[in-house]
Amino acid sequence: MRKNGLSIMLAALMAVSLAACGGSGTADTTAAETTAANTPASQEGTKADDAQAANLPSFEGQQLRVSTFSFNAELLQKNIYDPFMEATGCELIVEGGKNAERVTKIKETPENYDVVVIGDAFIVDLIEQGLIDTIDSSKLTNLDGLYDNAKAPFGEEYGPAYTFNRLGIVYDAATCPIEIHSWEDLWNPELEGAVSIPDITTTSGPLFYYSVAKMAGLTPGEDDDAIFAKFEELKPNIMKTYTSANDTITMLNQGEISVAVLLDYSYTAAKSASDDYVWVDPSEGVYSGFNSLNVIKDSPNKELAEAFIDFYISKEVQLAEALDGVDSPVRSDVELTPEQAANFTYGKEMIDSLLIPDWTTINANKADWTSRWNELFSVQ
């Protein structure tokens, strides 16, 4: 294991916390600035062991600029950023934010980024814009451990998925007037003003669009008028169309809503607030997305970027993230107990049953869908 003594000493003095993935705003910060004092002593051995086991080459003095989600900052710091920096001697510059905002920034200034950690429709958009570089899969030593559909979900030349996520319904059994089993239940008049759904521009928005279409026997891109008619019928029940899952979880906790359409990892965060929260895999079927890891075109740090991606999909990282409730693993050799896997998109049987939307159709219709969505929900 290689350590940069000066960096660690500075980190201990600065005691700056990372805000790369928490909240709905953006943050640009050096991941090395998180002090060792922020990590419990019981976790330090695990971090060191993981870093040593990685057996990564030295990238002493190099910086890697990462665009990622605004979620689970402290856990990502513990499980990924700190061990990777300790193993390689590099410095990570992490910027978090909402997907659409991050895509806009990358389009405007791609030279400011090396790696993007982002959801499916958004990475397809960046690929179509020529902003994503190819990856040499032979350098990804951990790739073989992934489920086949995670190895190259957007083409053999692009990066892997590091987690599956599935869209479902969460309701508060203590306040919701009905039991929920299906997407169709969201239209129940007893739920007037009680439901929060994802905005069409979010990661989960297109998944919900496809879910509603399947429920109604309709095809996105062909039957959009009929699909939006279904959303108009749902509108009286909608309290909020959200762009931040964190805000929706807060609304659920405060009793402002009793039902939310969420991705599974958001439920993992929400359920700690109340034993009354119930997760539902709707009977009509469950749509899933991927979060992936990719290199920005013309990155001067491509070798370091590929090493970071390889580390991210290692068994040690995948297991640590799963045990901390951050992400569902995409490795078939990560074994979890039923309790640990609860509400994760986990296991071959579940993964084989997932429905996958057509990302090309989504991007081709995104502008039209967004315009119609904003017109319909403009008062939200």
* pLDDT band with cut points at 50, 70 and 90 for residue 30: low
- At residue 151, does pLDDT exceed 90? yes
Total of domains in the chain: 2
Output the DSSP codes for 317-357: HHHHHHHTTS----BTT----HHHHTTS--SHHHHHH-B--
Residue 207: pLDDT band by 50, 70, 90 thresholds? very high
User: Quick one: 71 and 13 in the same domain?
Assistant: yes
pLDDT of 168 reads 96
Are 306 and 271 part of one and the same domain?
no
Contact 266, 326 (CB under 8 A): no
CA distance 196 to 235: 10
Q: What is the pLDDT of residues 262-290, one digit of tens each?
A: 998 788 778 878 889 999 999 999 999 88
Task: Indicate whether 188 and 329 sit together in one domain.
Answer: no
| Angle, alpha carbons 223-210-326 (nearest 5°) | 165
pLDDT bracket for residue 78 (50, 70, 90): very high
Asked if 183 and 140 sit in the same domain, the reply is no
Assess contact for 156 and 137: CB atoms under 8 A: yes
- Of the two residues 24 and 120, the one the predictor is more confident about is 120
Residues 6 or more apart in contact with residue 371 via CB below 8 angstroms: none
Stretch 317-331: mean pLDDT: 94
Residue 139 above 80 pLDDT? Answer: yes
Whole-number pLDDT of residue 26: 39
Q: Residue 56's pLDDT band (boundaries 50, 70, 90)?
A: confident
Residues 241 and 335 in one domain: no
Give 31's pLDDT tier (boundaries 50, 70, 90): low
What mean pLDDT, rounded, does the chain reach?
86
pLDDT at 343: 77
Contact by Cβ (8 Å): 361, 217:
no
d(CA 288, CA 291): 10
Q: Is 138 exposed, middle or buried (0-12, 13-18, 19+ CB in 10 A)?
A: exposed
Q: What is the mean pLDDT of residues 188-201?
A: 96
Residues 173 and 157 both lie in one domain: no
Domain that holds residue 357: 166-287+353-376
pLDDT at 362: 92
Residue 252 in this model has a pLDDT that exceeds 60: yes
- Do 102 and 224 sit in the same domain of this protein? no
Q: Predicted confidence band at 22 (pLDDT cuts at 50, 70, 90)?
A: very low
189 and 283 part of one domain: yes
Q: Is the pLDDT of residue 106 over 80?
A: yes
* 182 pLDDT higher than 50: yes
Q: Please state, for a pLDDT cut of 70, what percent of the chain lies above it.
A: 85
Residue 267: its pLDDT value, please?
85
Q: What CATH number did the domain enclosing 267 receive?
A: 3.40.190.10
Q: What is the pLDDT of residues 81-97, one digit of tens each?
A: 999 999 999 999 999 99
Cα–Cα distance, 265 to 165 (Å, whole number)? 7
